[in-house]
Structures are given as C-alpha cells and as structure tokens.
Amino acid sequence: MLKVVESIMGSIAKCIGMPKDPLKLFLTFILSYPFCAVLKRLPDSRPIYKQIFCLSVSAFYLLGIFNFWGGLQTLLISSFGTYALAKYVKGPLMPWAVFVFLMGHLTINHIHRYFNPLWESEVDITGAQMVLVMKLSAFGWNVHDGRRPSTELSSIQKDRALTTLPPVIDFLTYVFFFPSLLVGPSFDYAEFRRWLDFSMFEVESAAKQAVNGKPRKAPRKRKIPRSGRVAARKALEGVLWIGLWIGLGRVLSPNYILSNEFRARPFVFRIFYLWPLGFYYRLKYYGAWSLSEGACTLSGLSYNGVDPSTNKRKWDRVKNIDPYRFETGQNTYTLLETWNMNTNKWLKTYVYLRVTPKGKKPGFISTLITFLTSAFWHGVSPGYYLTFVTGAFMQSCGRAARRYIRPFFLTPDLSQPSPYKKYYDAVTYVGTQLTMAYAVQPFMLLSFSDSVRAWLTVYFYIHIGLFIMTALFSVKSVRKKIEAKLAARTVTASKLERLRFEIENARAKRAPSELHAGPDIQEALHEPSLGIPDGDVEEAVEAMQLDLAELRNDLEQFKRRTAMVSRDAGTRPKRKV
C-alpha cells in the first residue's frame, strides 16, 4: 500500500507544484473527515470498536502514508514510559519524573534533527511527539491529582483528576486519537474519557430549558449531537487557508529577505514586506489547525456544552487558533492568547502554576521555567530562542504601554474610550503587527546567522524601539511623572462628576419654568466632563482644572437664582447680563 500511496502522492505533487510530504499531511487531514463520520456511528454500547478503529487509522497514517516506523517507536516509548511511571511511582515526584522523561526524550530528538536537518518541505515525527508531550505530561499530573485529597485541588484539577489508572487500551486510544495525532490539538484524558463513554454529551439541567424559559418535554436521546455543518465550515476554512498559503508561496519567500536585491529596496518597503511574509508563515498553521479542529468537531470531541443564552451547542473545546482576532490584534497579549491556544493552556496549567510553591503567587522563577519549557519544547535551533527572547521584551513593553500610555486615550475613570482612542488603536495595531512580523523571522529561518542577517536588513529597528521603551519606563522619575498625570486626571474627573451630580439634583428641584434657565447653565450641564482635549496631557489637565473652576462659578450663580425663585415663586428672575 505504501508504494501505491507514494506513487499517487508523487503524481499529484507534480501537477499542483506542492512538495510531497505536506501533501501527505493534507491527505491525512482530509481522510480524517470520512473516518470520523464512521467513528461516531460505531455502536455506542461497544467502545472497543471505536478504540480499535482509532488505533487502526493512526497506524495507517503513520505506516501506510508516511512510513514512520521509527516515529511509531518514538511515540510508543513516550507512551509506555509515561504509563509505567504513573503506575509504579506513587509519590509527589511522579509527575515531575514524567515531565523530565518526556522533555528529555523530545530534546534528544530535537538535537538529532538539529545536526541532521530535514529539507524545508519534509515532515517527521517530531510534531506528533510535541503534541504527545503535552498530553502525557498532563496525564501524569491528572493521575497525581487523583491520589491527593480533593480539598487540596482547584476546580480545574478536580475536573481533570484521575482516581484510577485507565486500562492500557483506553490509554493508547487517547494517545493515538487520529484526528489530532500529527498536529494536535491536545486535550486532557478526562475529556477524552467523557467523549468515549458519552458523559460529555449529557445535557445539564441549566441547558434543558429553551430560550423562553420553558422546559423541554424530554432531553434528547442522541448520543453525539450533529456537528456536520460546523465541521464542514472548519474544513472549508482550512482548505482556503492552505490554498492561500500555496498561492502566496509563489510570490513571497523567506530567502528573498536574505538577498542583495532585498537590501537594495527602500527601508519602508523592507519593514512592511515582513508583515505579509509573517502572514504567509502563519497560513499553513491556520490551515492545519482548522482542518484538525474540524475533524475533532465531526467526531464529537469538540463539544463544549450548550450556551444557555442562545440554547445552541458550542464546539470550541479544542479550539487552537482564532485567525481573525490574531490578524486584528492590537497588542501582544491578544496575539499570544489567540495563537496555539491549547499549548498556552498546557504551559499555564501544567507548568506555570505547578512550579509555583503552594500558597504563593507565581513570580519570576515560574515565568523563567515556563519560558525555558516553551523554548525546549519547540526545539534547540537558535532561531526559536531569538524569537522567544524578543517576545519577552515585547510582552514587557506591551504591559508598560497599556499601563502608562493607553489610559491617556480613555476617559479619566478608564471606563470609556476618548475621542482619540481610535488613533491609539490604529497606531498600536500597525505597531503590534509589524513587531510580530519582525520577531517571527528567526522562528522560520532557525539558524543564528540567517536570523541576524534578516534583522540586519531592517537595522534591528524593533529591538532599538524595545530597548528605548524598556529604558524609558525603567526610569523611576519618568514613571512617577506619568503616574502623577494620570492621578491628576482621575481626581479632576471625580470632582467634575460630583459637580455634575449636584447640578443635576438642583435642576430636578427647580420650578418647571426654570428648566430652561440660561445658556450658561445648559452649556455647563452638557459640556463633556470626560475625555482629553487637544494638546499634550499636561495641558489637558490644566484645561480640565479651568473647566472645574468655571463649573463652580456656574453652580454658585445657579444657587443664587434658585434662592430668588424660592422667595418669589412663580416669577422668573431677570437674568443679569
């Protein structure tokens, strides 16, 4: 069968101009949809059928399509090594032993790949092993949590804890769940088990009511809800991303930024060329993750309950990417939250929070360990570390900008955007996207020399900007000055709001004939007290203080007129000019 697949894939690859290995990977994504359609229709009362089917399809992918005999051995070593440690090591060091074993095994393969590099278009088992590291390290922690008192566990730990070690056949089906075998997404064993025994699809009491509040006559009996349309949309989305990736690959190239021709281009062209190039890098991930998520949706694993507000099912349990939010993100936080989402969950839940001592808040050590874990998980190529270190500075500067700059483009109480917020959003959007495009170049080029050459073509302009921002916000006097201005805006806004409240109350007590008193009072009442006038922040604070003085004068005039009205009810006092 392997020769037949090789022959067919070779012919198709020549016709469409696509490398053979990525085409094989695309084939596994497409085949997963009819396979998942069969999987969800196997007898619900015989889970062994589903298990055998999953293992058979995964074997076909690994051996029949990719000929990954050595890769299968790699996955089995990680799997049985984890299972043995979870079974025979009972103490609190068990999950750490699992983690070190898995990361050590992965790092050995990363080192081997580094000294024996593949062609850019080749696919090996490392991607599947990276997914497996997330699943199995989480499995070790879940087993450990199942042996601890429930009073010591958080809500998420209670939900994922395993009080008994699962049978080997269940465990292997979890490991070799074919819709997510090669590129993810990852998920915890407890979620997989609920899919296998159908407890995931039990309708909760809160969701048994229709939108109008009337209860249904009876809960639906169907085991796995219909998900064909949702899965089809994801599949179409994935195919479109892959098609766009192939199309842009004919006009964009990472090698071009290393050429003399590129260096001869104007500086503005060079920095903006990196933006679509970074988008081109992401397209293959958008396509692969969308296709695999769609297959998981068709199998039912993506089911995430019913939205009580709309009474519609949610299919986002294993969502791994949000392309729209990423491409429109205005800050580093949004980009990180919408990219490789399940990996971020794994790093937070099973690394960042686990290395934090009990009773303490995560600090620098937790952050450092998480950073190193993410770096080693990706590989040992210098390009990964150049990107991650730059990303750390991006996060730091992003937090500083949101703390010290963004508030000036909000109302003083920070509840609403000011009229100038749209300009801030435009600048931060372009700045964030250009910064990310700059930072990811080493992630694709991998080698240290090529990465430095790529950054040199744009004169390290992002690093210079990050250095200036870091140095600026590291100066205590600068921070104090900014904080003082922000405090002045807040205090001024508070006073203006209090005066507004007093004037509104006074107006409510006036005679009806006084409701249209004078233009000075009307202007004072309708003059916006929030927002930043034109000019710099210091001038804005001074202007607001002048407004405060004017409002005080208006209030005094208003009080005098109100007193005159009370003495001569029904007679409107003449207004002084």
Residues identified as active-site: 378
Q: With contact defined as beta carbons under 8 Å apart, do 137 and 99 qualify?
A: yes
Q: Whole-angstrom Cα distance, residue 180 to residue 549?
A: 66
Q: With contact defined as beta carbons under 8 Å apart, do 77 and 93 qualify?
A: no
Q: Whole-angstrom Cα distance, residue 308 to residue 90?
A: 41
Q: Whole-angstrom Cα distance, residue 310 to residue 320?
A: 23
Q: With contact defined as beta carbons under 8 Å apart, do 334 and 435 qualify?
A: no
Catalogue the E-assigned strands of 84-181: none
The answer for residues whose C-beta is within 8 angstroms of residue 538's C-beta and 6 or more apart is 485
Q: With contact defined as beta carbons under 8 Å apart, do 291 and 239 qualify?
A: yes
In the chain, % helix, strand, coil (3-state, to 5) comes to 70, 0, 30
What is the distance, to the nearest Å, from the Cα of residue 362 to the centroid of all Cα atoms in its chain? Answer: 20
* Residue of 293, 279, 351, 357 whose CA lies nearest to 321: 293
The one-letter amino acid at 456: L
Q: Is the dihedral of CA 486, 488, 489, 495 positive or negative?
A: positive
User: Is beta strand 306-307 parallel, antiparallel or unpaired with respect to 312-313?
Assistant: antiparallel
3-state secondary structure 283-318: HHHHHHHHHHHHHHHHHCCCCCCEECCCCEECCCCC
**Joined tokens for residue 526:** 């309708």
Q: Which residues pair with 307 in a beta bridge?
A: 312
Q: Count CB atoms within 10 A of the CB of residue 215.
A: 10
DSSP-derived 3-state class of residue 209: strand
**Joined tokens for residue 498:** 């209090």
Residue bearing tokens 């199995």: 136
Helix 448-456 to helix 382-404 angle (10° resolution) is 40
Q: With contact defined as beta carbons under 8 Å apart, do 320 and 289 qualify?
A: yes
